Amino acid sequence: MPGSQARCRARDRNNVLNRPEFLSLNQTHRNREQAGVGEGRGGTAPRRTVFRQHSQQEDSGLRGSRDSSEGGSAAEGGAKEASRWPEQDCMQLNPSFRGIAINSLLAIDISLSKRMGMCVRPHGPGAPLRSMVTLLALTGHALPWLCGTLICLWRSNTLAGQEVLINLLLALILDLMTVAGMQKLVKRRGPWDFPPGFLDYIAMDTYSFPAAHASRAIMVSKFLLNHLVLAVPLRILLYLWAFLVSMSRVLLGKHHLSDVGCGFALGFLHFNLVESVWLDSATCQTILSIGTLCWTPLV
């Protein structure tokens, strides 16, 4: 008898039907088995088997409720995680052709801009040209052009000259405010991510996109070529100056090539806008009278 009990217990443990999910299928088989064991062992065997069946049912119920609670909490946690993370942080397994093209162009732009930054470090490959490139970039800064225009306007005695200089001053202010606003909106860093200098803070040129020097150089060159009578060599030199000023910022590691291109387009836009709202001589004299606190028109 003891050997038969040990074999029955080992068979119960190894039987696959003892799992909670197969308990309903196993009840009829257990009832028959318990009846046969009870007949062979006497009156105490049915009580033990019934008590064992009840305990197994309670264990399976507790185990099922624990599993369901754990599954419910895991599902709630997964839902919370899914609601917490935005869609843009998820991996896109099938990106669009437009996204691939834009990312590729940006990568090429950054790589070329970093390679062209030869005058970034004092001991780099472009160290002998660093001082000259810095001086060339300074000629396209906003502060010299604003101060120079105000000095020329103060020393000017002709109505035509004052008209041209006031419109140039308004164009410089428009270019400065527009570029500064776009840079604050986009907040793109340069290819080498250097902190801006003191003059850059004065001109509000603290970010990379768009290039303020490129926009200003193109706008000023177009303005001077349209309102001054210059010889052909001077006209070529003026276009060359605008191009070199724009590229000097790339050589110094301040701007990307795409920033310079957008600066060119923005400079042309500013020039066309100023030409379309050109202020006549009477309006310019009124502005001068208000600015100098002299209410009599200048002659």
Give the DSSP letter string of 238-276: HHHHHHHHHHHHHHTTS--HHHHHHHHHHHHHHHHHHHH
Amino acid of residue 105: L
Residue 93 CA: distances (Å) to CA of 90, 103, 202: 9, 15, 46
Distance CA 21, CA 132 (A): 83
Query: Does residue 297 have a pLDDT over 50?
Result: no
- pLDDT, tens digit, for every residue of 69-97? 554 554 455 545 545 545 444 555 566 87
Task: Kindly state the average pLDDT of the residues 253-279.
Answer: 93
Query: Does residue 190 have a pLDDT over 80?
Result: yes
pLDDT bracket for residue 293 (50, 70, 90): low
Q: Which stretch of 75-89, 107-121, 256-270 has the lowest confidence by average pLDDT?
A: 75-89
pLDDT bracket for residue 288 (50, 70, 90): confident
Average pLDDT of the residues of the chain: 76
Catalytic residue list? 213, 255
Q: Which residue has the higher pLDDT, 127 or 186?
A: 186
Query: Does residue 192 have a pLDDT over 70?
Result: yes
Residue 52 near residue 46, CB atoms below 8 Å:
no
Query: Does residue 117 have a pLDDT over 90?
Result: no
Q: Which residue has the higher pLDDT, 25 or 235?
A: 235
Statement: the pTM of the whole predicted model exceeds 0.75: no
Query: Does residue 267 have a pLDDT over 90?
Result: yes
Q: Which stretch of 113-117, 125-129, 228-232, 277-281 has the lowest confidence by average pLDDT?
A: 125-129
Task: Kindly state the average pLDDT of the residues 213-226.
Answer: 93
pLDDT at 45: 43
pLDDT at 238: 93
Residue partners of 96: CB distance under 8 A and separation at least 6: none
b/e burial code for range 137-154 (CB count within 10 A of at least 16 → b): beebbbeebbeebeeebe
CA atoms within 13 A on the CB side of 70: 6
Distance CA 177, CA 204 (A): 9
Cis peptide before 128 (omega within 30 of 0): no
pLDDT at 75: 47
pLDDT at 231: 87
pLDDT at 196: 81
Distance CA 140, CA 151 (A): 17
Give the DSSP letter string of 75-136: HHHHHHHHHHS-GGGS--SS--HHHHHHHHHHHHHHHHHHHH-TTSSTTSTTGGGHHHHHHH
Q: In the structure encoding, which two tokens stand for residue 286, read together?
A: 């009124």
Query: Does residue 47 have a pLDDT over 50?
Result: no
Q: Which stretch of 29-38, 99-108, 213-222, 261-270 has the lowest confidence by average pLDDT?
A: 29-38
- pLDDT, tens digit, for every residue of 49-67? 444 554 555 555 545 555 5
Q: Which residue has the higher pLDDT, 32 or 195?
A: 195
Distance CA 27, CA 172 (A): 92
